[in-house]
């Protein structure tokens, strides 16, 4: 069930003329009843959601946690701990955290991230299924600047949609649609499809450290050079350290075994990709296109892409390079190609 981002609470003293929510009183009451009914469905015991440390032991608590974040509670300064494995049984999941405003140009941006710490304690959340037209599709829709997700294993089936409504596409991943925080020591398994798709995160603005993706990533789009697909991250504006992708990645534009597009100011270090990569424009065993820095990285899988030309590249490590590549190498099938397909940047041995 999807909810609008309109206010659920209205000040009784407000005059009708001052109400800018865009909802009638009857509509607000109806939404309030829906939220109350969902909370009643999933709330099986009392949890002190204001405590510094909170134990999550069942699906009901996890779904209630999602609703709280999506209604404005960011959990800053709090730690949630997963005490055991959970199975969501492929029932539709509402991602934790909202960062909307990317679907249509006229949409107002809504930013309700998770800003606390979620410690999986090396437990697994199975059966995370997101399948409708959300613009952030993953276990967490949005992780804020101070958010931390760590020690978590997730199995997913993420089916990002493309339609006339999704004018700007969506961000799809396993752990997060987009992240401005720290994702550390996480492992993901399954399948992710989307316009900007990553095995771990759709779009990374923060730090990824010691993570592994076994996810099969498929790129769905209207064929725009703004799209991206990567075995770990679709688009990287942040930093990726000591991380690995072993699944296959398939798309059209900006397709990489680890990162689809590594953008200006971004870094990939001490990381590798081993899965096969298949696409057309700017295809690389590690990264499709690089504007940032790549250091001490490798790629091993087969790379299939259109021949390098003046406007696109296919390479064993990087399809097209505008940034800096230092001390990187090719292994296995990737070694049959040049390190970089099209190079307009710097390569240091």
pLDDT at residue 23, as a whole number: 43
User: Contact 101/110 with Cβ under 8 angstroms?
Assistant: yes
C-alpha 184: how far from chain center: 14
Token couple for 314: 């296919």
Q: ∠ CA(198), CA(123), CA(211), 5° rounding?
A: 35
pLDDT reported for residue 21: 38
Task: Give the strand order in the sheet containing 281-284.
Answer: 136-137, 171-172, 196-198, 228-230, 253-256, 281-284, 314-315
**Which two tokens mark 320?**
């097209």
Query: How far is the C-alpha of 234 from the C-alpha of 242, rounded, in Å?
Result: 17
- pTM for the predicted model, two decimal places: 0.86
pLDDT at 29: 54
With helix as H, strand as E and coil as C, how does the chain read? CCCCCCCCCCCCCCCHHHCCCCCCHHHHHHHHHHHHHHHHHHCCCCCCCCCCEEEECCHHHHHHHHHHHHCCCCCCCCEEEECCCEECCCCECCCECEEECCCCCCCCCEEECECCEEEEEEEEEEEEEECCCCCEECCEEEECCCCEEEEEEEEEEEECCCCCCCCCCCEECCCEEEECCEEECCEEEEEEEECEEECCEEEECCEEECCEEEEEEEECCCCCCCCEEECCEEEECCEEECCEECCCEECCEEEECCEEEECCCCEEECCEECCCEECCEEEECCEEEECCEEECCEECCCEECCCCECCECEECCEEEECCEEECCEECHHHHHCCCEEEECCEEEC
Predicted confidence at residue 222, as pLDDT, reads 60
How far apart CA 272 and CA 83 sit, in angstroms, is 31
Contact 284, 316 (CB under 8 A): yes
Kindly report the number of other CB atoms within 10 A of residue 186's CB atom.
26
Q: Rounded to whole angstroms, how far apart are CA atoms 219 and 160?
A: 9
Whose tokens are 């134990």? That residue is 55
Question: 55-80: string of b/e by CB count within 10 Å (b at 16+)?
Answer: ebeebbbbbbbbbbbbbebbbeebeb
Q: Where are the domains of the chain?
A: 1-42, 53-348
Give pLDDT tens digits along the chain (349 positions): 333 333 223 333 434 444 443 445 554 454 445 445 545 554 545 799 999 999 999 999 999 999 999 999 999 999 999 999 999 998 889 999 998 864 445 557 789 999 999 999 999 999 999 976 677 899 999 999 999 999 999 999 998 755 444 444 589 999 999 999 999 999 999 999 998 999 999 999 999 999 999 999 998 766 667 899 999 999 999 999 999 999 999 999 999 999 999 999 999 999 999 999 999 999 999 999 999 999 999 999 999 999 988 889 999 999 999 999 999 999 999 999 999 999 999 999 9
Q: For residues 117 and 278, what is the distance between their CA atoms, to the nearest angstrom?
A: 36
Positive or negative CA dihedral for 85, 48, 113, 145? negative
| Predicted pLDDT at 28 | 46
What is the third-level CATH fold of 53-348? Pectate Lyase C-like (2.160.20)
């Amino acid at each position: 069930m999807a909810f609008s981002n309109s206010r659920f609470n209205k000040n009784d003293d407000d005059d009708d003329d001052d109400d800018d929510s865009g909802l009638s009183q009857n509509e607000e009451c109806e939404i309030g009843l829906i939220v109350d009914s969902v909370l009643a469905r999933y709330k099986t015991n009392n949890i002190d959601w204001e405590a510094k440390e909170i134990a999550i032991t069942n699906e009901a608590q996890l779904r209630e946690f999602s609703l709280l974040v999506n209604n404005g509670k960011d959990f800053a300064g709090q730690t949630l701990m997963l005490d055991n494995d959970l199975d969501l049984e492929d029932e539709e999941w509402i991602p934790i955290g909202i960062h909307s405003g990317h679907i249509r140009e006229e949409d107002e941006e809504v930013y309700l991230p998770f800003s606390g710490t979620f410690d999986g304690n090396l437990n697994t959340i199975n059966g995370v299924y997101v399948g409708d037209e959300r613009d952030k599709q993953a276990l967490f829709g949005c992780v804020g600047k101070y958010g931390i997700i760590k020690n978590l294993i997730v199995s997913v089936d993420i089916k990002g949609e493309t339609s006339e409504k999704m004018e700007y596409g969506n961000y799809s991943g396993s752990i997060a649609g987009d992240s401005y925080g720290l994702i550390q020591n996480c492992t993901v398994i399954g399948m992710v499809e989307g316009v900007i798709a990553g095995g771990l995160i759709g779009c990374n603005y923060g730090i990824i450290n010691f993570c592994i993706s076994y996810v099969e990533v498929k790129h769905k789009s209207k064929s725009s050079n703004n799209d991206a697909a990567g075995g770990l991250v679709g688009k990287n504006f942040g930093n990726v350290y000591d991380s690995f992708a072993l699944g296959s990645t398939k798309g059209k534009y900006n397709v990489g075994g680890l990162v689809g597009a590594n953008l200006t100011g971004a870094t990939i270090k001490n990381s590798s990709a081993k899965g096969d990569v298949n696409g057309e424009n700017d295809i690389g065993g590690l990264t499709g296109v690089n504007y940032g820095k790549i250091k001490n990285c490798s790629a091993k899988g087969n790379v299939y892409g259109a021949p390098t030309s003046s406007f696109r590249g296919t390479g064993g490590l990087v399809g097209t390079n505008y940034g800096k590549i230092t001390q990187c190498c090719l292994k296995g099938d990737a070694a049959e190609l040049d390190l970089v397909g099209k190079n307009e940047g710097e390569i240091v041995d």
